[in-house]
A and B are shown apart, each in its own frame.
Chain A
Amino acid sequence: MPLITPPRRLPVGLIGSILLPVLFLFSLMAGTVSIPAAEVLNILVGKETSDPVWQNIILDLRLPKALTAALCGAGLAVGGVLTQSLFRNPLNGPDVIGLTSGAGLGVALMVSTGIAGSGALSLTSSAFAGSSLTFLLISRIARSFSANSLLIAGIMFSAFASSIITVLQFYSGAEELQRYTLWTMGNISSTTWEDIPWLAGSVFAGIFLALYSSKGLDAYDLSTGYAESLGIQTSRLRRSVLISAALLTGSITAFCGPITFVGIAGPHLVRVLSGGNTHIRLIPYSALAGSILVLTCDLLSSLPGPGRFLPLNAVTALLGAPVVIWIIYRSYQKP
């Protein structure tokens, strides 16, 4: 009996759950000072190490960074799945609902007016304020309009926000300009142990909410009418999907800046490689894929040599775009 197993199906879940810990370990080992795997594991389980400096490097620098990378990737990829399904457009990333631009606007405003000090936390709170306000605005629109007009509203808001940012940039000094520009490049290395619980909390809450909506999204994949006839209240579904996408994008953008591309590439990789469309699998697989992507990109961003790092956003697209194009080219050929 042929069933529910499309052809060309890779055990994506299995591959992902092997690859993720391996990459995670790699990212703890690699850096200006390379540390052997055995020592890394010793430090992680709290055993004595031959070099106490290594312990500091791992626990204070690399571990928070690697955790941030994994959380960011997971959250952005799930955000991508949600917005792609909600707007029925495979090209959507989680930034289409305008949250990223809102966060950007928040940061630009605070930086250029000098309200945001030099600390990382103030950037975070500016971004969070920006994206939260945007979310309130967008969800007000979502209450009374269809998914399509919500998409247009999101795009319009992004355009509106970026022109305000341009005006602000025009009037701001070199130092402010640099701070803002650095923020837009995406950065996962400035999170501290104090930030991690917040980031992890919102990413897990967002993913959990997404899983909760997954059955509804399967029905929504057919059409709004079919979903209603299958007993799904589509307006409620839209609201919970929007909240979950906002939670994921808003918090990640606040802590790490706008990280592009992972939200599009992660879900696409999973859809093509696994051949399945059921959200209860699509969501966790995409989370794995997103974590793997960001960890890989982070490893690659340190390639230029000791002390120099490529901006994360440059690497995500540089690596991701050709891969995605190749995979889509392969899969969209008629069998």
Chain B
Amino acid sequence: MEALLETSGLSVGYGKHVLFKDLDLKVNSGELICFMGPNGSGKSSLLRTLAGIQKAISGEVSYNQSHERSKFLSVVLTDRIGNPGLTAEEVVAAGRIPFQDWTRKLSAEDISIVNDCMKLTGCSGLASTKMEWLSDGQRQLVMLARALAQSPKVLLLDEPTAHLDLNNRVEVMNLLRSLCRSKGLSVMVCTHELDLALQTADCIWLSGEDDQLITGVPEDLVLNGAVDRIFKLKGFTLKTGKLEHQISELQSVSVEGSGFGLLWTKNALERKGYRIAETSNNHIAVVTDGENISWSIHHQTCHSIRELLAILQE
């Protein structure tokens, strides 16, 4: 595989404050990397250094490309937009700056790229809206469109989904993955979304333990406990992918049933601290009848989990 970005002996930080030391990283073409780590572990600094915005303390970043950096590498940063009076379209069009001369005249190709990128991220409808009128989530979609308009081969994103709703989050990650697959882009995303990262990334970078990065395939990092160690996950067993509830020994229940009804009933019971046993005095039967679900307990029938929990608490 072709490495689009490589570092050798890269140290990142500010003056005497070294965040990462002697990193030898490789970002391959067509690879989606999720970069995770606790707040303040230096994710943004490393991203800015890889993008050439921040000076490295030592070592170097090489790109394996013949033209200027701005023509193949673009970023989504967490920076606030300096001029909030810019329209979304003007911001996306700014992505074409490296390809424009000093008159900033947009060619027909520039215009179609700008339009395509806005369509791709679903923000075409915002074209003539000023940035100050957009919500944080909409703003992030615009900034993503801007980064794409720069026709990058390497795309570095700093928490691009932080303000997005669940749908958009999944859509943005899917978009990034499909760009990797179809166009051979290299994408590196700093993110706090563990679940999305585990599901979409080809490779995960973990920071926070020392001045090194732990890198690997997501599943490996889960199985060897690296993820648990870094995030010091409390009450969450990553291997099963579920929150571990503190079980009180006070009351046990037994549940019978099937399908989603059973799944969510167990979820509610565990959350409330009941221990689920094979047999118990509190026996719940989940009855699924087409769309309708009912619960029977102590010869009573409930039509919602709320009613069920109320009876159990008596």
Interface residues of A, Cβ cutoff 8 Å to B: 1-7, 85, 88, 90, 211-212, 214-215, 218-226, 228-232, 271, 276-278, 280, 334-335
A232 and B104 CA atoms in complex are apart in Å by 14
Cβ–Cβ contact B89 & A225, under 8 A: no
Is B250 at the interface (CB under 8 A from chain A)? no
A103 to chain B, nearest CB (A): 29
Residues of B within 8 A of A224 (CB): 79, 82
With an 8 A cutoff between CB atoms, is B100 at the interface? yes
Chain A residue with the shortest CB-CB distance to B133: A334
Closest Cβ of chain A to B150, distance in Å, is 7
Of B48, B73, B102, B114, the residue contacting A215 (CB under 8 A) is B102
Contact partner of A229 (CB less than 8 A), chosen from B73, B85, B87, B106, is B73
Q: Interface digits, B68-89 against A, CB 8 Å rule (1 contact, 0 not)?
A: 1111011101011111011101
Query: Which residues from A are CB-within-8-Å of B128?
Result: 2, 5-7
Nearest residue (CB) in B for A84 is B83
B80 to chain A, nearest CB (A): 7
Residues of B within 8 A of A280 (CB): 102-104
Interface size on B, residues (CB 8 A): 42
Q: In the assembled complex, which residues on chain B have CB atoms less than 8 Å from the CB atom of A228?
A: 51-53
Q: Are A231 and B98 interface neighbours, CB within 8 A?
A: yes
A3 touches B111 (CB 8 A): yes
Q: A3-B127, A88-B82, A214-B102 are in contact. List 9 more A-B contacts (CB 8 A).
A: A1-B111, A2-B128, A6-B128, A221-B81, A222-B86, A225-B77, A230-B97, A231-B69, A334-B133
Q: Give the residues in chain A near B104, CB-CB below 8 Å.
A: 214-215, 218, 278, 280
B251 within 8 A of A: no
3 nearest CB pairs, A to B: A231-B70, A223-B79, A221-B83
B-side contacts of A7, CB under 8 Å? 128
CB–CB A218/B115 < 8 A: no
B94, CB-defined interface residue at 8 Å? yes
Q: List 19 A–B pairs whose Cβ atoms lie within 8 Å, in order of A's numbering.
A: A1-B111, A3-B114, A3-B127, A4-B89, A4-B90, A211-B102, A218-B97, A219-B97, A224-B82, A225-B79, A226-B75, A229-B51, A231-B68, A231-B70, A277-B86, A277-B90, A280-B103, A335-B129, A335-B133
- Min CB distance A269 to B, Å, is 14
Question: How far, in angstroms, from A197 to B111 measured CA to CA in the complex?
Answer: 42
A222 to B146, CA, bound (A): 11
**How many Å lie between the Cα of A218 and that of B85 in the bound state?**
12
